[in-house]
Chain A
């Protein structure tokens, strides 16, 4: 999991990047192949007869029929390609969706320096929204982050395994260790593809994290762990490798000198995964402060995103669309239990800590708005990890888009952290600090929904936002990931479930 101590030297970014080019040509990294195997059920016919889509609405259709569709990672990559480049086959014949240097176990945590990473503020675009700064979405610039190793393969020096400490958010009063289970899953999602350049096949990685949103459910003041359950056996292993971390922050047990923590196990947690390639995704909406620069899908006839009813003009004839309206428009939510089977392995022989390597699967049900069909989804999402040879062009510290940055060097990754300070200050309090009251009643002294997180962790909603429609009292739980506040001064639509972002609806949704 960790690079060597030889890299713990403070360098300017440009010089540091040159050092990277030399050192990381032989670096191993962890890469997880993401696959989706989903079956969607959607309405294919509403009709007055057994023939499909015949008749008139005023006559009352009496025959209803559904059909099935299949959604795999191939389709999702095409959705992304059309959104970004206008061409479904941009990524070639065999692209893969990969989670790069992911951390899927609940037993990992991060150093205070990485937790303090701040969002990357790129430029002010007065053309988009007058007098409002537009943030280049959630990128973390190393110069804003005192942990310079975030420049190296996703802060590999800043992540380590930890054991449960008996508290949900507080440090252990005796060992001062932080709790676990607030950060998984972690990483960045890329499309890995190969293109022939100058007679040579070159592999590229395109960061597409902002198409996805991940949320994990937490639960406090319960027995044991707060967001996951686990069957695991750790063991201390003596090591004589120079420089290996044998004491705090990972290992504070006095008797385990000169030891590293190894083990294997199975972790499970409730995960919500969103995908959205439309302008309903705030990252893909030019009027939203999170705009990434890539405009989301919208049909030529106007924004149809499954959120606003009766946008389509009424025609009495029940007519099946003979073409494919908005064929690449896709937004869906999957919910389910993600189970991750892992062992701790040294990704590189000289690493300070071993890393979790394994495979995970989300057995999911969900719903989506696909090709203008409301679709019920069942199936699975899987992540199979392996150790691969890294390279200078590895995505954590090279941006394929070459966007402008204040230092002229663009590094960073997408996170939920732009509003991290809504929940906490985004970084560790003193390890000896007491909890103080803020927002939900306390500011955690542990990294939680920090500026460096991929995944948004949420507990049971503070309110259930009941509202009265006519004489009915409708109570429904907000979608996991909390309602999203996007733009400036408004609340964002909730359904279909938005990306899991650290936005919180300031006021309850009120009925018309």
Chain B
């Protein structure tokens, strides 16, 4: 066989082999990607909330696994909300500082629901010790509506209660009050037999 023909044949052969090799490599890569995707899906499916077997002594609801992002987020939010409500329920006046600090920290939570619940919790506590934390949160928040909501809560807490600074004993009527009862009591339409005797 002439050398030129041999060389040409070898070149063609190598070219074919190279092309085959390149083609095989790209297919493998695609196959690997598919396999990875399938694995990911399999993990996602496996991560769907599954009730764990319950013991005989405890029939509490199962704690779901946390791999799905939306489900994870919902569960985390739910736990945060439960914690906030538990804190508000525990407040008895003597433990307010710790509860206020915890709720104030949640004003920086990335979830709006949690921030709103914490703000509502602080409003329910109605403790002026919460005002510094609220002011700081108002300074840090970007959303103007959230800022206004925080400022409203600050204003609410600052406002004195309707019975603050009142006499402690009985329902005293001030001697300076101008209310004087008409001597003959009139009856409204359908007034009851429970009306007091005329003055």
Interface class of chain A by DSSP:
loop
- Across the interface, do A321 and B163 meet the contact criterion of CB distance under 8 Å? no
Q: Which of A232-268 contact B (CB under 8 A)?
A: 235, 237-241, 260, 262, 264
* A residues less than 8 Å from B90 (CB atoms): 386
Task: Decide: B59 and A382 in contact? CB cutoff 8 A.
Answer: no
Q: B174 contacts A325, CB within 8 Å? A: yes
Q: Which residues of B contact A355 (CB under 8 A)?
A: none
Q: List A contacts of B167 (CB < 8 A).
A: 88, 324, 327
Q: How far is the CB of B77 from chain A (nearest CB, A)?
A: 12
Report yes or no: A35 in contact with B186, Cβ–Cβ below 8 A: no
Q: Are B193 and A40 in contact (CB under 8 A)?
A: no
Q: A33-B89, A33-B91, A386-B89 are in contact. Are A301 and B173 (CB under 8 A)?
A: yes
B162: chain A residues at CB < 8 Å are: 40, 69-71, 75, 370-371
| Chain A contacts for B26, CB-based, 8 A | none
Closest 10 A-B residue pairs measured CB to CB?
A323-B174, A94-B93, A490-B193, A302-B181, A384-B89, A325-B177, A359-B85, A322-B176, A490-B192, A509-B190
- Whether B194 pairs with A287 at a CB distance below 8 angstroms is yes
Confirm or deny: B168 has a beta carbon within 8 angstroms of a beta carbon on chain A: yes
Interface size class of B (residues with CB under 8 A): 35 or more
A262 to B166, CA, bound (A): 49
* Interface presence of B135 (CB below 8 A): no
| CB of B69 within 8 Å of the partner chain | no
Does residue B92 face the partner (Cβ distance < 8 Å to A)?
yes
A-side contacts of B166, CB under 8 Å: 78, 88, 324, 327-328
Shortest CB–CB separation between residue B47 and chain A, in angstroms?
Answer: 19
Residues of B within 8 A of A78 (CB): 163, 166
Interface code A288-330, partner B: CB below 8 Å = 1, 0 otherwise? 1000000001111111100111111101000101111111110
Q: Is A68 within 8 A of B159, CB to CB? A: yes
Number of A residues whose C-beta is below 8 Å from B?
Answer: 96
24 contacts between A and B (CB under 8 A): A31-B89, A37-B126, A69-B162, A70-B162, A75-B161, A79-B163, A94-B93, A237-B51, A237-B54, A303-B195, A304-B179, A307-B188, A308-B195, A309-B186, A311-B185, A312-B178, A312-B179, A312-B182, A313-B182, A324-B167, A341-B81, A385-B85, A486-B194, A487-B192
Cβ-defined contact, A321 with B182, below 8 A: no
Q: How many A-B residue pairs have CB under 8 A?
A: 217
B84 to chain A, nearest CB (A): 9
Contacts of A372 in B (CB 8 A): 179
A66 interface residue (CB < 8 Å to B): no
Specify which chain A residues have a CB less than 8 angstroms from the CB of B159 in the assembled complex.
39, 68-70
Partner of B171, one of A82, A303, A358, A510: A82
Task: List 14 additional contacts besides A241-B57, A490-B194; criterion CB under 8 Å.
Answer: A40-B162, A72-B126, A75-B163, A309-B186, A311-B182, A322-B174, A323-B175, A343-B61, A384-B85, A386-B86, A467-B189, A490-B191, A509-B190, A512-B189
Q: What distance in Å separates the Cβ of B181 from its nearest Cβ neighbour in chain A?
A: 4
Q: Which residues of B contact A (CB under 8 A)?
A: 51, 54, 56-61, 81, 85-86, 88-94, 120, 123-124, 126, 156, 159-163, 166-182, 185-196, 199
The residue on A at minimum CB distance from B171 is A328
**B46 vs chain A, min Cβ distance (A):** 20
Q: Which of B120, B167, B187, B192 has the most CB of A within 10 A?
A: B192
Contact pick for B180, options A89, A241, A297, A313, CB 8 Å: A313
B contact face: mostly helix, strand, loop, or mixed: loop
User: Is the C-beta of A86 less than 8 angstroms from some C-beta in chain B?
Assistant: yes
Q: Could you say which residues of chain A place their CB within 8 Å of the CB of B186? A: 308-311
Closest to A488 in B: B193
In the bound complex, CA of A87 to CA of B173 (Å)? 14
- Bound complex: CA A39 to CA B176 (Å): 27
Inside 8 A of B169's CB, which chain A residues have their CB? 86-88
Contact B173 A300 (CB under 8 A): yes
List of A residues within 8 angstroms of B195 by Cβ: 303, 308
Complex CA–CA separation, A385 to B89 (angstroms): 6
Q: Is B168 within 8 A of A88, CB to CB?
A: yes
Instruction: Find the A residue at minimum CB distance from B90.
Output: A386
Q: A88-B169, A349-B58 are in contact. Are A487 and B194 (CB under 8 A)?
A: yes
Q: Is the CB of A288 within 8 A of B161?
A: no
Say yes or no for A492: interface residue by CB 8 A criterion: yes
Report the nearest A residue to B58, measured CB to CB.
Answer: A349
Interchain CB contact (< 8 A) of B185 among A89, A235, A308: A308
